[in-house]
Amino acid sequence: MTPEELIKRIKERFEVEIYTSQTKTPHPRERIWIEISRNDFKELMKYFQEIDPHTQFSIIIGEDRGDHLSATYHLELFCENSPSLSVAVITSCPKEDPKIPSLGDVFPSSVPYERENQEFLGIIFEGIPDSRRLFLPDDFPEGIYPLRLDEKGIMPEMVKNAGHPYKIKKEGLK
Domain spans, the chain: 3-171
**Per-residue confidence (pLDDT) for residue 78, from 0 to 100:** 84
pLDDT at 59: 97
Q: What is the 3-state secondary structure (H, E, C) of the chain?
A: CCHHHHHHHHHHHCCCEEEEEECCCCCCCEEEEEECCHHHHHHHHHHHHHHCCCCEEEEEEEEECCCEEEEEEEEEECCCCCCCEEEEEEEEEECCCCEEECCCCCCHHHHHHHHHHHHHHCCEEECCCCCCCCCCCCCCCCCCCCCCCCCCCCCHHHCCCCCCHHHHHHHCCC
What integer pLDDT is reported at residue 19 of this predicted model? Answer: 93
Q: What is the mean pLDDT of each run of 10 residues along the chain (174 residues)?
A: 89 96 78 96 96 94 96 89 86 97 97 97 97 91 93 80 55 50
Its pTM stands at: 0.86
Write the CATH number of the domain with boundaries 3-171. Answer: 3.30.460.80
